[in-house]
Structure 1
Amino acid sequence: MKHIIKIISMWFLSIIIAPIAYANDDVAAQIQIQNSKYENGYNSGNADAVAALHTKDARVMVSGFPTSVGKDAIRANITAETSGPAKLNLSLETTELDVAENMAYEKGRWTTVIKEEGKADITINGPYLVIWKKVDNKWLIHFDAVFSE
C-alpha cells in the first residue's frame, strides 16, 4: 500500500511540476528570441529595434555612464554607441534565468568585438543582469544593468 501511495504522489507531483518546467522552458525560448533581436539590432545600428525591446519606462544602467530612462533615452544611447566608424559585434549569453509569473530575471555575459579598419580588433566583455516584464504577451526589458571587466 505504501508503494502505491508513493507512486500516486510522484505522479501527482509530476502533473503539477511538469507544466511549470515547460512554462519556464517556453519563457527561456522567448527571451532567447528577444536577445537575438537585441544582438541583431545593436550590431546593425538599428536603435529603434533595440528600443522596441524595452518597456516604456525601462532603465538601463551601464557602468561609468548615466542611467537611461525610457525608450527615447535608450534609443539615443544605442545610436551614440553604434554610429561611430567602428563595426561592433555584440553577443549575449544567458547563464541563469528565473521566472515568476509576468517577471523574469536573467543573468548573463556579454561580449563585444570592436572592429575598425587598420586597427587590431578589441574585445570587451562583462556580466549583465536583466529584469524582463511581460507586457501584452511579449517579454520586454524593464531593467538592464551592464558591467564591464
Structure 2
Amino acid sequence: MKTYIQLLFILFSIQFSIGQNYNGNQEDINQILKNIKDFSSYVNTGNYEMIGKSYTKDAKIFPQRGDIIIGVENITKYWILPEGVQTKNHKITPNEITIVENTAYDYGYYEGTTVRADGKTSSWKGKYVIVWKKVGDDWKIYMDIWNSI
C-alpha cells in the first residue's frame, strides 16, 4: 500500500511539473487563452471570416509546406478548405504564454482530425509558435508558424 501511495505521489508531481507556464497580466493571459479556444472553434466550424479576424492586418503565417503568407486576405484564403473537406476537433494546447508589454508569444502543440470528401479521416498533430500583438483591448495573431510531429 505504501508503494502504491508513493507511486501516486510521483505521478501527480510529474503531471504538475510539466504543466503550462504563463507569464504576464492574468487578464491578458485569459484573453489569449480565450482567443486560442475561439480560433479552434472557428477552424472546426469553417468560420473563415472569424479565422481571418483572429490575425492582425499585417499578419504572417509560416505553413509547414510553402512560402510565408502575408496579410489577412491571403491568410483567410489559405485556411479555406476544398468543398466537402472539414476539420474536426482542432485543438491548440499552449505550453507557455509570455507577455511583454503589447507583444506576447506562446508555443505548444496542436492536434486535430480532417474528414475528406470521401468520408475518410486523417488525424494530425504538431508543434507551433504564435506571436501576438495587442490591438485595442484584444490580442491578435501577428505571426503563426507550425509543423507536424
Q: TM-score, normalised by structure 2?
A: 0.78
Partner of 2:5: none
Please identify the structure whose Cα radius of gyration is greater. 1
Question: How many residues of Structure 1 are paired with residues of Structure 2 in the alignment?
Answer: 127
Moved more, 106-115 or 53-62: 106-115
1:9-33 deviation line (CA, Å, top 9, x unaligned): xxxxxxxxxxxx8953222210111
CA distance in 2, matches of 1:108, 1:47: 23
Pairing 1:48-63 to 2, within 5 Å after superposition: 48-63=49-64
Following the alignment from structure 2 to structure 1, what is the Cα–Cα distance between the partners of residues 69 and 132? 16
1:48-77 residue CA offsets vs partner (Å, 9 max, x unmatched): 101101110000001112211000001111
Q: Higher strand proportion, which one? A: 2
Q: Does 1:85 align with 2:84?
A: yes
What is the CA–CA distance in structure 2 between the aligned matches of 1:122 and 1:36, rounded to whole Å? 22
AA aligned to 1:83 is P
Question: How far apart, in 2, do the equivalents of 1:38 and 1:76 lie?
Answer: 16
Mind listing any 5+ residue stretches in structure 2 that lack a counterpart?
Answer: 1-21
- The residue number in structure 1 matching 2:3 is none
Residues 1:141 and 2:141 are matched in the alignment: yes
User: What is the aligned-residue RMSD (CA, Å)?
Assistant: 1.9
Q: For the structure 1 residues 95 and 23, does the alpha-carbon distance in structure 2 shift closer, same or farther, using more than 3 Å as the test? A: closer
Higher helix share: 1
Q: CA deviation at 1:45?
A: 1.2
- Residue segments in structure 1 that go unaligned for 5+ positions in a row: 1-20
Give the equivalent residue in structure 2 for 1:33: 34
One-letter amino acid of the structure 2 residue matched with residue 65 of structure 1 = G
Task: State the 4+ residue runs in structure 1 displaced beyond 3 angstroms.
Answer: 116-120
The answer (yes or no) to whether the contact 2:61–2:143 under 8 Å persists in 1 is yes
